[in-house]
Amino acid sequence: MDSIKIGMIGFGTVGAGVVNLLEESGSALADRIGRKLVLEKIAVRDTGKKRGAPFDRARLTTDPRQIVESPDIDIVIEVMGGEEEALSLTLQAIKNGKHLVTANKLMLALRGEEVYQAAESAGVELGFEAAVAGAIPVIRTIRHSFASDRIALVQGIVNGTGNYILSRMTDEGKPFDDILKDAQALGYAEADPALDVGGGDSAHKIAILASLAFRTPVDFKDVYTEGITAITPEDIIMAGEFGYRVKLLALARRNHDSIDVRVHPAMVPKNHMIANVNGALNAVEIVGDYAGPNILQGPGAGAGPTASAVVADIVDIGGKIVYGGAGKVSPIGIPLSSRKKIPVAPVDQVSSEYYLRFTVPDRPGVLAEISGALGRNKISISSMIQRGRKENEPVSVVLMTHIALESDLNRALDEIARTDICQADTMRVRIAKDA
Amino acid sequence: MDSIKIGMIGFGTVGAGVVNLLEESGSALADRIGRKLVLEKIAVRDTGKKRGAPFDRARLTTDPRQIVESPDIDIVIEVMGGEEEALSLTLQAIKNGKHLVTANKLMLALRGEEVYQAAESAGVELGFEAAVAGAIPVIRTIRHSFASDRIALVQGIVNGTGNYILSRMTDEGKPFDDILKDAQALGYAEADPALDVGGGDSAHKIAILASLAFRTPVDFKDVYTEGITAITPEDIIMAGEFGYRVKLLALARRNHDSIDVRVHPAMVPKNHMIANVNGALNAVEIVGDYAGPNILQGPGAGAGPTASAVVADIVDIGGKIVYGGAGKVSPIGIPLSSRKKIPVAPVDQVSSEYYLRFTVPDRPGVLAEISGALGRNKISISSMIQRGRKENEPVSVVLMTHIALESDLNRALDEIARTDICQADTMRVRIAKDA
């Protein structure tokens, strides 16, 4: 039996998963494809380092060019991560006619257009299911299952660490910092959690999904990104009383002549499926004009799921190599030149209901000042709660608004901030009504 | 631009959805595929009947052979339903080299092997995403996304009518017959609801999924099928007290050297996602050794979702026609000859925890008789509830068992039935622990 030769750049957690999966299922996959899959070479920084999977040390190299320039390699797996070096190796591999499978969401979010263009020009396959939400088939569903449909909305939870922290804050009532420390100790959060809890990782993923769903280039700088670090247990409790759960929501919506692409904490109605996705799970809702709302849920990260997605892409590409179909269709499903650039709407043009928590002195007149400023800016209040009265200490006043334009709300909050009645930053959380 | 010519057999709800979707999105789809999709002809029984979508009456025909035998037609859509006639037309179309897209679950469940073999021999594409759960990408996920993985379990809710009825019984506490009548009046259940509430429709779907997931022919006669007609409001209330919801579960599980494929009511733990899928929604969980548990949820039926799935298959096939890839891979993803026949385990070899409700006279000694019979057959009881005491009227005794083998339970229940202490049929519901 002929073989399909694979080179891999990077041998971390995901790389080890790929080695194990290919080892375990190699013969079944060969039956399926009609050729053996042979992992020829892996490029690593340190050939002496202990790895999570057995691999012949003689086939490790510290020089990734031995992979991207080797005439023997058919498919390159890029699981090294990062931007510049990964991009440069990816583009080189593609230029050399190699099919590429990548789990690198950062690279695709920031430099995806260069990669897509290169793959289309070279006529090679590009598999990137593993870049978003592990083995949850989000990319394939948007690219193939919804190819017939017009997608109206893609939204969900695409960062397991953030969801794990919010879920535990909800269950245990403890502050963000405490849960983060514990999550780091347990291995659920990284030593530098900024990308996860700051929303950047979610933003990478939703930028990729938006581009694919709405068939447009998306400039990553246009993706509004707000993390969960400012969320307090009090916000979570108040959300619960109003019938919501707080989630780090990534959202891409089709408007009339623009799209929304953003990541921020949101209060999701408790009876919505996404509100009930807890722990480190991910879930993505894809709404088609015809297909209606479909939700895909699963682990979203980790060696096993991500390796499963990487190898599924390899199986697809392998099959196409065998029958001569590889690289015949552009990596995003349609010719790149047929796309139109759809602008991303600025976040202050978004309309939403809002949860607002003001920290103010407990004295008469405060609510009048706040509601006056809101009213002058066309924000109307749907309900108000003030809990507890502590003498000489600031209290929380929580307001829920009706639908309002974010720029109006910003003006109102600026006005309130100038009055100096607020004794701490005002918290604002968007309500995800159609989540 | 060249065109791809499509013929459709059947013009009911789904057919009308397809006509509307092709009409609305035709030019976008042409951009994607590189050729126009032209719906040439539709075969119907009655050309005079009013349809749910506009279509040139001159291109209707009452003779489906004008489609399956026309040299002009590239792709045939079969949405007429039923077994023999649909099969005969399908096989004829395939024999004539036409690619086939079908939403016919009954045909594929009962005669799928004939269709798969014919498509593989003729080298044509077979699309059947629409046959299971509407636009929820279950088929594509099993066939492509999990191609790299070993699937351990596929389970879920694949019949919207059954789920709608159970959900309303749960919410309203009313008996099955009342809710069914109301569901029929509202159009949620058909005049003849047997396939839906009897489990047959779910059995068709899980037979197709099991065959695909475990790469084996499945004899439909081996699929154990039990409907929801015997479920009472009392069973639902008791399930709730024990922490479960009653769902009509379709399940396909890989065992050591057999598979389970069955449909029956099950008590699903309340905190499992599937327990929270309510109304007419469908949800399917696919568990891979590497990918872990992934759940796909959506509408599962209706004109829009089903048409979206049909047309997604057409787009896939259209793309392959354009670049010459059509029919190169067997319709189930691997050569049919590479499969092994895996036997379906008889349901009495299944082990499960059970909910049992006995209708017995309220007198001393009854529980001793029941628990004695259970104990003699190796069934141990985990908890017992008897509610209400009515003089001279039978009462319900509800038992939950530990894990037991179904054949042991059957023996115990036979023994109890022979004692004539039961004044009505004993209700038995399996507990879905890993749902």
Written as six digits, the tokens of B203 are: 């059995």
Q: Which residues, other chains included, contact B178 with Cβ-Cβ below 8 Å and sequence gap of 6+?
A: none
pLDDT at B435: 58
Q: Give residue A316's pLDDT band: very low, low, confident or very high (50, 70, 90).
A: very high
Q: Which residues, other chains included, contact B222 with Cβ-Cβ below 8 Å and sequence gap of 6+?
A: B261, B343, B344
**Span B185-198, average pLDDT:** 94
Cα B213 to Cα B206: distance, rounded to the nearest angstrom: 10
**Span B84-101, average pLDDT:** 98
| Residue B149 touches chain A, beta carbons under 8 Å | yes
The ipTM estimated for the assembled molecules is 0.94
Residue A343 is given by DSSP the state P
Rounded (10°) CA dihedral A240, A245, A246, A247: 170
Written as six digits, the tokens of A384 are: 């108000």
Cα B75 to Cα B314: distance, rounded to the nearest angstrom: 8
Nearest Cβ partner for A294 among B144, B296, B302:
B296
Nearest Cβ partner for B148 among A21, A288, A299:
A21
Burial class (CB in 10 A: 0-12, 13-18, 19+), A256: exposed
Q: Do B291 and A276 touch (CB under 8 A)?
A: no
Least confident of A428-432, B81-85, B187-191, B378-382: B187-191
Asked whether the predicted pLDDT for residue A1 surpasses 90, the reply is no
Question: What are the residue numbers of the active site of B?
Answer: 205
pLDDT at A323: 87
Answer positive or negative: Cα dihedral of A37, A42, A48, A52: negative
Contact B279, B164 (CB under 8 A): yes
Per-residue pLDDT tens for B328-355? 888 998 899 989 999 999 999 999 999 9
Q: Which residues pair with A395 in a beta bridge?
A: A360
Domains of chain B as residue ranges with CATH: 3-135+303-338 (3.40.50.720), 138-298 (3.30.360.10), 349-431 (3.30.70.260)
Residue A427: which of A350, A346, A359, A362 has the closest Cα?
Answer: A359
Per-residue pLDDT tens for B349-378? 999 999 999 999 988 889 999 999 999 999
Cα A324 to Cα A311: distance, rounded to the nearest angstrom: 19
Q: Which residues, other chains included, contact A179 with Cβ-Cβ below 8 Å and sequence gap of 6+?
A: A165, A168, A169, A172
Choose, out of B308, B311, B316, B323, the residue to mutate when testing the contact with A (most A CBs < 10 Å): B308
CB contacts under 8 A, A 30-49 vs B, are 31-32, 34
pLDDT at B389: 73
Asked whether the predicted pLDDT for residue B388 surpasses 80, the reply is no
Mean pLDDT of chain A: 95
Q: Which positions in chain B touch A19 (Cβ < 8 Å)?
A: none
Which residue in chain B is spatially nearest to A328 when comparing CA positions? B323
| Residue A311 touches chain B, beta carbons under 8 Å | yes
Q: Terminal CA-to-CA distance of chain B, rounded, Å?
A: 50
pLDDT at B374: 97
Q: Do B292 and A298 touch (CB under 8 A)?
A: yes
pLDDT at B57: 94
Asked whether the predicted pLDDT for residue B390 surpasses 80, the reply is no
Cα B391 to Cα B362: distance, rounded to the nearest angstrom: 7
Residue B119: which of B319, B310, B311, B332 has the closest Cα?
Answer: B332
Per-residue pLDDT tens for B109-168? 999 999 999 999 999 999 999 999 999 999 999 999 999 999 999 999 999 999 999 999
Mean pLDDT of chain B: 95
Choose, out of B153, B215, B290, the residue to mutate when testing the contact with A (most A CBs < 10 Å): B290
The rounded percent of chain B whose pLDDT value lies above 70 is 99
Show the 3-state SS of A369-406. HHHHHHHHCCCCEEEEEECCCCCCCCEEEEEEECCEEH
Phi, psi values for residue B118, rounded to 5°: -60, -45
Asked whether the predicted pLDDT for residue A389 surpasses 80, the reply is no
Cα A35 to Cα A319: distance, rounded to the nearest angstrom: 9
Q: Which positions in chain B touch A320 (Cβ < 8 Å)?
A: 325
Residue with tokens 């904490």: A265
Q: How far is B369 from chain A (nearest CA, A)?
A: 44
| Residue A406 touches chain B, beta carbons under 8 Å | no
Q: Give residue A363's pLDDT band: very low, low, confident or very high (50, 70, 90).
A: confident
Q: Which positions in chain B touch A141 (Cβ < 8 Å)?
A: 137, 140-141
Per-residue pLDDT tens for A115-126? 999 999 999 999
Nearest Cβ partner for A304 among B17, B290, B295:
B290
Choose, out of B33, B141, B149, the residue to mutate when testing the contact with A (most A CBs < 10 Å): B149
List the helix and strand counts (H, then E) for chain A.
13, 17
**Span B38-59, average pLDDT:** 95
pLDDT at B329: 87
Nearest Cβ partner for A146 among B144, B307, B312:
B312
DSSP B363-379: -TTHHHHHHHHHHHTT-
Per-residue pLDDT tens for A334-362? 899 989 999 999 999 999 999 999 999 98
| Residue A155 touches chain B, beta carbons under 8 Å | no
Nearest Cβ partner for A147 among B32, B292, B293:
B32
Answer positive or negative: Cα dihedral of A414, A419, A422, A425: positive
Per-residue pLDDT tens for A69-113? 999 999 999 999 999 999 999 999 999 999 999 999 999 999 999
Q: Do B297 and A292 touch (CB under 8 A)?
A: no
Least confident of A62-71, A86-95, A235-244, A324-333: A324-333
pLDDT at A435: 58
pLDDT at B434: 72
Q: Which positions in chain B touch A101 (Cβ < 8 Å)?
A: none
In 3-state terms, what secondary structure has residue A251? strand
pLDDT at B324: 86
Beta-sheet strand order (sheet of B60-61): B60-61, B36-43, B3-9, B75-78, B99-102, B126-127
**Span B295-309, average pLDDT:** 95
